[in-house]
Amino acid sequence: MSLPSINPTKTETWKALEEHFQKIENLQMQDVFEKDSDRAERFKIEWQDFYLDYSKNRITDETISLLLKLAEEVELKEAIAQQFSGEKINETEDRAVLHTALRDFENMKPEVKTTLQKMKLFSEEIISGNHKGFTGKGITDIVNIGIGGSHLGPEMVVEALQFYKNHLKIHFIANIDGDDVSEKLKTLNPETTLFIIVSKSFTTQETIVNASFVRDWFLKNASKADIEKHFVAVSTNEKGAKDFGISEENIFPMQDWVGGRFSLWSSVGLSICCAVGFKNFEAMLKGAFGMDTHFKNEDFSKNIPIILALLSVWYNNFFKAESEAVVPYSQYLNKLVPYLQQAIMESNGKSIDLNGEKINYQTGTIVWGNVGSNSQHAYFQLLHQGTKLIPTDFIGFAEPLAGNTNNHNVLMANYLAQTEALWEGTHFKTVENPFKIFEGNKPTNSLLIKRLTPKNLGSLIAMYEHKLFVQGIIWNIFSYDQWGVELGKTVAKGTLNAIEKNNPEKIENTSTINLLKKVFGNKKD
């Protein structure tokens, strides 16, 4: 069965939304809010440890009811059911999309259970020091070698759960930049380091080149037989991993129905397991499953990912907002935005609809941001007084982890004050100096989570996964493929060939030829 394919702009609700937009586009919504004492109560959702306040948005009750109608008209319910049932909704790659099945412990597929068990046992051996390196010493450092989804998720989570971390030091080699690889290796001792090569395909150029370099570095001190104690792989491509020299028992399998950018829940999360222990990893999976259940079963009007997705469509397609920001008020979440950039922009950066037709409306939002309060001292000027409309998600935690209440009070005062200042501006004040006028009316969502636990982190990540899926359904695009990354890879292969063969003429574009000559010179001359 195929996903419903409905051009959103041809629906009745879209037209109604366009008309409604004309009416409220120029409204200073602060006045509406002031007169409506119940607004903050109506535009909020409470679920487990999550509290979403979306009242500071340029919406009325009519906006929300129209957006909810749009979701129905594009048959979102049907699409959600198809995804969870394992239909091959990633049609262009002929694959199901089942990262949610990795966290559904009650209905877990046997192969997923087996892999989880393998991850548990392995990580316990590493953490306890029972697993010995080639000179008999325990492992102190773990290096995840992988890129894209094989890097961003694990790194983001390891950082986010630093509070729960054990003694192991976790490093990430992703970039093909050799300088970075050398810097990382400088700090490592081959006797006590474990390398996890993570690549769903095991063909990704950066990962294979980096892993080969690291293996050569390791072999300067050790023998081929020692590889077994220091190199493991995570991949769907068992043959590729074996050809690289990884022994069969050191391969952690993953399934082709897990997309790279949704794979941190799979064996790709091995570095997470090692960093925080299997129990915390499992708690994160359970938190994600909780959000899956909420998303699948909750009424659309009380459904956090759906409401967030609809608001984002409202700004993207009606207000023509070009981007949205995400600002977590927690240093632990400083890698969240790069992670979301891949998840969201690789998924929804599409311009062809489900029928293969060119789209004439806006799709994928540009996502950017950084942690608060640092961001306030960097780009917030533009949010407050710039010409662009940038809807922003503010993520905060009610309780600090380390018990520093004083700092936490200041942090949260800023979290709360910024959404208020962005919304109200100087609207209710008389300000003569034009440079000191703040128009306000800047939309924000405030997501307040009780505490940054592994469980709540799992729910948070799953929330954004579902949000992007809903947007893809509304925009009538395939969110789960990524053909747009392929052309660059092919061209780079040709360019590398030209560099290695010292033959710039193999390249046709004169601009690129000139650049290439500047970088490498033309050794033929």
Q: Please work out the total of residues on this chain that contact ligand F6P, with binding judged by CB under 6 A.
A: 14
Binding mask 318-357 for ligand F6P (x = CB under 6 A): ----------------------------x-----------
Distance CA 517, CA 499 (A): 10
C-beta of residue 258 within 8 angstroms of C-beta of residue 99? yes
Kindly provide the b/e burial profile for residues 305-322, where b requires at least 16 CB atoms within 10 angstroms of the residue's own CB: bbbbbbbbbbbbbbeebe
| CA distances from residue 310 to 37, 145, 464 in whole angstroms, order as listed | 24, 37, 13
Residue 179 has a CB neighbour count (10 Å cut-off) of 8
Among 262, 482, 498, 504, binds ligand F6P (CB under 6 A): 482
Residues 6+ apart with CB under 8 A from 495: 507, 512, 516
- Work out the number of other CB atoms within 10 angstroms of the CB of residue 369: 23
Considering the candidates 191, 206, 346, 465, report the single residue annotated as catalytic: 346
364 binds ligand F6P (CB under 6 A): no
Q: Smaller CB distance to ligand F6P: residue 214 or 449?
A: 214
Alpha helices (H) along 100-226: 110-128, 152-160, 178-186, 205-219
Told to judge if 377 belongs to the known catalytic residues of this protein, a careful annotator would answer: yes
Among 13, 207, 446, 471, binds ligand F6P (CB under 6 A): 207
* Residue 261 contacts ligand F6P per CB under 6 A: yes
Nearer to ligand F6P, 199 or 479 (CB): 199
Q: x/- contact string, 158-187, with ligand F6P (CB under 6 A)? A: ------------------------------
According to CB under 6 A, which one of 8, 133, 148, 425 is a site residue for ligand F6P? Answer: 148
Q: Of 23, 436, 489, 517, which one is the catalytic site residue? A: 489
Contact status: 398 vs ligand F6P (CB under 6 A): no
Which residue in 56, 99, 200, 230 binds ligand F6P (CB under 6 A)?
Answer: 200
Minimum distance, C-beta of residue 330 to ligand F6P, in the bound complex (Å)? 25
Residue from 55, 150, 363, 446 binding ligand F6P (CB under 6 A): 150
Catalytic, 408? Answer no
What's the min distance (Å) between Cβ of 462 and ligand F6P? 18
Which C-beta is closer to ligand F6P: that of 280 or that of 482? 482
Kindly compute the dihedral angle of the four CA atoms of residues 165, 168, 169, 175, in this order, to the nearest 10 degrees.
Answer: -90
346 is a catalytic site residue: yes
Closest CB 155 distance from ligand F6P, rounded Å: 13
Q: Least distance from C-beta 208 to ligand F6P, angstroms? A: 8
Residue 518, C-beta contacts closer than 8 angstroms, at least 6 positions apart:
none
The 3-state DSSP class for residue 396 equals: strand
Q: Which of 57, 63, 193, 199 binds ligand F6P (CB under 6 A)?
A: 199
CB of 200 to ligand F6P, least distance (A): 4
Q: How far is the CB of 110 from ligand F6P (least distance, A)?
A: 24
Active-site annotation holder among 186, 358, 377, 524: 377
Tell me whether strands 141-145 and 169-173 are parallel, antiparallel or unpaired: parallel
Tokens (6 digits) for 488:
């660059």
Q: What is the amino acid identity at position 405?
A: T
- Please pick, from the candidates 149, 425, 454, 458, the single residue that binds ligand F6P as defined by CB under 6 A: 149
Min separation Cβ 268 and ligand F6P, Å:
8
Question: For residues 382 and 485, which CB has a smaller minimum distance to ligand F6P in the complex?
Answer: 485
> DSSP code of 250?
G
User: Residue 472 CB, nearest distance to ligand F6P (Å)?
Assistant: 15
**Residue span binding ligand F6P (CB under 6 A) among the ranges 1-9, 15-23, 194-202, 368-376:** 194-202
Stretch of 147-155, 163-171, 172-180, 326-334 lying at the interface with ligand F6P (CB under 6 A): 147-155
How far apart, in Å, do the first and last CA atoms of the chain sit? 60
Total residue count of the chain as it appears in this document = 525
Contact 368, 323 (CB under 8 A): yes
Q: Which is nearer to ligand F6P, 199 or 444 (CB)?
A: 199
**What would the DSSP string read from start to end of 5-60?**
---GGGSHHHHHHHHHHHHHTT--HHHHHHH-TTHHHHSEEEETTEEEE--SSS--
The neighbouring-strand residues paired with 501 are: none
Q: Which stretch binds ligand F6P (CB under 6 A): 200-208, 224-232, 324-332, 471-479?
A: 200-208
In the chain, the amino acid numbered 28 is Q
Q: Is 260 in the site for ligand F6P (CB under 6 A)?
A: yes
Instruction: Tell the smallest beta-carbon distance from residue 251 to ligand F6P (Å).
Output: 14
Whole-number Å distance between alpha carbons of 223 and 215: 10
User: Residue 175 CB, nearest distance to ligand F6P (Å)?
Assistant: 13
- Amino acid 388 reads K
DSSP string, 414-445: HHHHHHHHHHHTTTTS----GGG-------EE
Q: Which of 144, 193, 204, 418 binds ligand F6P (CB under 6 A)?
A: 204
Structure tokens at 367: 């996502």
Q: Is the dihedral of CA 161, 162, 168, 170 positive or negative?
A: positive
Question: Which is nearer to ligand F6P, 99 or 442 (by Cβ)?
Answer: 99
* Amino acid sitting at position 324: E
Catalytic residue numbers read 346, 377, 489
- Summarize as ranges the residues that interact with ligand F6P (CB under 6 A): 147-150, 199-201, 204, 207, 260-261, 346, 482, 485
